Structure 1
Amino acid sequence: MLDILIVTPAEPGSKAGNRATAERWKRLLENSGHTVSILTRYQGQAADLMIALHTWRSHEAIRQFREMNPKIPLIGVLTGTDVYSPEFRDEQATHESMASADALIGLHRKVATDIPEGFRDKVRIVLQSAEKPTQSRCPATDPFDCCVIGHLRDEKDSLRAAMAARHLPDDSRIRIVQAGKPHNPGWRTMAEQEATLNPRFHWLGEIDRTAVQSLMRSSQVMVISSRMEGGANVVSEACRGGLPIIASDIPGNRGLLGDSYSGYYPVENEKALASLLLRAERDADFLAELRNKVTELAGNFTPAAEQAALIAAIDYAFSRMGSIASP
C-alpha cells in the first residue's frame, strides 16, 4: 500500500471544485487501502506518490517534489485553467509541470487533444463521480425551473442563462434559479442587478450541499454555460440524478456527454440557449431524449468507476518509473 500526498491550492473548507476532488479522491484511495494526506503546499513531506491538482497553481509544489524525489512518481491533474485559458495562467510554469509529471490526469475524454502534443501520451482519464441521490426527483410543476450551479466567474459565463431568459416569449413558464458564490464584488453586483431587473431570474447566492441537491431535484433542466471546463462535476451529479443538461458546446462538456448529445448550444449565444430552453419546456419528446441520455451516461460517473480509473492512473505513473503500484 502507498503513502500518497494530494496537493491542492484550495484551502480546507473551500467549496472550490479542486478541494472537493481532493477530498473525494482521499476517500476513494483510502478505501483501496492507501494512506492519503491533503496539502495546500509541499514542505518536503516523504511519500510514495504525489498527486498535484492544478498543474499551474501547484507548480511550485511540483517543482519542489520533483527536485527532492526524482525517482518517486508524480501525477499532475489537468484543470480547465491548465488547458484552456493561457490568459489566466503562467503558461511556461504550466508546461514545466506537465513535463515534470510522470502521468497527467484529465477529467474529460477530449482533454488530450487540447494540450501540447508532447504531453499527450501521459494522459489518463478519470471521470469524476457523484453519489446517486437518495431521494426521488420532484414532480414537474410550474414554473419550469432551470438551475445553474457554480461560482459566478468569467470562465463559467455565469449569467448567460439569465440573459437567455430575456429572449423567451411571455407565455413561457421558464425560470432560471442560480446558486453560487460570486468570484468578486463585480459579479455580486451583476447578479443582484440581474435579479432585480429580470423577473425570470432568481439568484440564491452560495448554498450548502443539501440545498444544492434539493435544487437539482426540483429543477427540470440544468444549464452549464461555461466558456471552458476541465470536466465539471455537476455533469456527473446531474447524470446520476437523471437531470437533463443543456450545455455550451465546448470540449469539456463534449468530453463528458459525448458528441451525439442533443443539448448543446454555441458558447456565449444566449439566443440559441433560449431556443433550447424553450424546446425543453415545450417538446416533451426532446426533454425525454435528454433525460434518457444522461441516465444512460450515469454509469460512467459512479464512485467505483472513478476509483478504478484513479488506481489505473497511479499504476501507469509507477510503470513509467519502472515500478508497479499495488492497487
Structure 2
Amino acid sequence: MPVSTKHVLIVSPALARENNGNWQTARRWCHFLRSRYQVTIASDWNGDASAPDLLIALHARRSAAAVAAFARAYPARPCVLVLTGTDLYRDIDTASEAQASLASAGALVLLQSDGMAQLAPALRAKTHVIYQSAPALRPVAHGAQRRYYDVCMIGHLRAEKDPLTFMRASTLVTSAKARLLHIGGALETALGQAANATVASNARYRWLGNLAHGVTRRRLARSHAMAICSLMEGGANVIIEAVTSGVPVLASDISGNRGMLGDDYAAYFPVGDAAALARLIDRSIDDPAFHALLKAQCAARAALFAPEKERNSLLQLVDNMFRG
C-alpha cells in the first residue's frame, strides 16, 4: 500500500532522553505507522505547529493539554488516547484533566486486557487492547558451572516502580550465586541514595544506572530471571522483552502484570513483600523444575507480544479511525 499523505502526530511526554516505556511505545508505533502514513513524535501540541490529521496521545493526564487543544481546534478529526499505568490505576479516578482526556478521545487503547475493569462501562465500547511487542531474541545458554545467577530489575528509580523492594530482597536472598542487578537512572534523589547505600553494604546488589536500550536488552537476555516490583503498570515493556528473550518474570501481584502474564502465572509476589520476592528468587535458582515451569508459562504468552500482531492491530485501528 502506498504511503498516505495523512499526518499522524504521536504526543509522548517522554522522549528519547527519558529512555522509558512510554518512549519505547512512541518510537515503535512511529515505525509501524510510517509504512502507511506521515508520522512525527512530539512532547506536546498546542495548535502552533501544523495540525495533524490524527492525534495519538500517550498518557491521559500528562498529554491532557494536547488532547484538549486538538479537540477544540479540530473536533471532527480523530484522537486516540493510550492509557498508561498511572492513568488506569490512579489518575482517571482523581485528576479532572485525565477524565477530560477520556471524554474527548474518539478511541482509547489499553496495553493489556485486565485494565478494562478500571474503565466505566460507557467507555469500554470505544476501548481497544493492543499488546506491545518486541523482537524475539535467542535465549542465552548457560553452562552448569555458571558463576552467577543474575536477576535483573529494569526501570528508572521512582516510587511507582518500587525499587526499594528489590533492594531489600537483595539482603534476604540466600542462594550463594544470586546477584541482583538494577538498570535505570535515579529519578528521585532519595531512591538513588538508597541504591548507593545498598551497593555499599551488600555485594549481591549492583546498580548499573541508565543504559542504552540495546545494551539493556542484551543484559536482560543473559539473565536468569527478571523482577518487576511495580505498584502500578499499564502494560510493561520489560515484561514483553523478558518473555520474548526466554527469561522468566518474577512479578508483583497487580492488575497490570496479571493482564500481561495471566492469572495462573506461578511467580507473583505481594506488592512490597521483599521476603516473598527473595523466596521466589531462591526457588528459581534452587528448583530447576520451577524455573522450567516459569519459562514454559512465559513461552505460552509470547505470541501475544509478536511485532506483526502489534503492527496489524495498530494499523487497523488507525485505518478505521480515518474511515470514521
TM-score, normalised relative to structure 1: 0.92
Structure 1 match to 2:72: 67
**Offset from partner CA, 1:284-323 (integer Å, 9 cap, x none):** 11100111121221111111111111123324545xxxx3
Work out whether residues 19 and 213 of structure 2, in 8 Å CA contact, stay in contact via their aligned partners in 1.
no
1:117-147 per-position Cα deviation (integer Å, ceiling 9, x unaligned): 33222210111111122x5414151221101
Cα distance in structure 1, aligned partners of 2:231 and 2:201: 24
State the match for 1:313 in structure 2.
317
Amino acid at match of 1:264: Y
User: Does 1:295 pair with 2:299?
Assistant: yes
Aligned-partner residue type, residue 164 of structure 2: L
Residue in 2 aligned with 1:265? 269
* 1:275 equivalenced with 2:279 (yes/no): yes
1:52 to 53, 57, 61: 57
Q: 1:241 is paired with a residue of what secondary structure?
A: coil
2:85 paired residue among 80, 83, 87: 80
What does residue 140 of structure 2 align with?
137
Aligned letter for 1:207? L
Report what 2:117 is aligned to: 113
- Give distance in 2, aligned partners of 1:247 and 1:228: 11
Give CA-to-partner distance per residue, 1:47-83, whole Å, 9 cap, x none: 2211001111000000000011111111111001111
- CA drift at 1:228: 0.5
Describe how 1:3-14 pairs up with structure 2 within 5 A.
Answer: 3-14=7-18
CA distance in 1, matches of 2:160, 2:106: 28
Amino acid at match of 2:307: P
Structure 2 gaps of 5+ residues are: none
Alignment check: 8 A CA contact 1:103 1:316 kept: no
Residue 11 of structure 1, CA deviation: 3.3
The CA distance in 2 between the partners of 1:194 and 1:232, in whole Å, is: 25
- Matched residues in 1 for 2:23 and 2:249: separation? 24
Partner Cα distance (2:75, 2:9) in 1:
15
**Matches of 1:110 and 1:157 in 2, distance apart?**
21
Q: Give the whole-Å Cα distance in 2 for the aligned partners of 1:168 and 1:65.
A: 51
AA at the equivalent of 2:271: V
Could you tell me which residue of structure 2 aligns to residue 36 of structure 1? 39
1:164 aligns with 2:169: yes
Q: Contact 1:138–1:217 at 8 Å: present in 2 too? A: no
Q: Which moved more, 1:49-58 or 1:110-119?
A: 110-119
- Secondary structure at the aligned position of 1:148 is classed as strand
1:25 aligns with 2:36: no
AA aligned to 2:309 is A
The alignment covers a number of residue pairs equal to 316
1:205 pairs with 205, 209, 213, which one? 209
Query: Normalised by the size of structure 2, how large is the TM-score?
Result: 0.92
Contact 2:61 2:91 in 1 (8 A): no
User: In structure 1, what is the equivalent of residue 238 of structure 2?
Assistant: 234
CA–CA distance in 2 between the matches of 1:243 and 1:251? 21
Give the Å deviation of 1:218. 2.0
Mean CA deviation greater in 35-44 or 238-247? 35-44
What are the ranges of 5 or more consecutive residues in structure 1 without an aligned counterpart? none
Output one character per residue of 1:80-120: Cα deviation in whole Å (capped at 9) or x when no partner.
11111249x96110000000001100011111111333322
Quote how far apart the aligned CAs of 1:178 are.
0.9
Measure the CA separation in 2 of the matches of 1:54 and 1:38: 14
Give the aligned CA root-mean-square deviation in angstroms.
Answer: 1.8
Residue 55 of structure 1 aligns with an amino acid whose one-letter code is A
Q: Distance in 2 between matches of 1:253 and 1:18?
A: 16
Mean alpha-carbon deviation: is it higher for 202-211 or for 284-293? 202-211
1:253 counterpart (257, 268, 274): 257
Say if 2:158 is the partner of 1:153.
yes
Percent identical across equivalent pairs? 36
Aligned to 1:94: 98
Partners of 2:52 and 2:148 lie apart in 1 by 53
| Contact 1:172–1:278, Cα closer than 8 Å, also in 2 | no
CA distance in 2, matches of 1:107, 1:286: 28
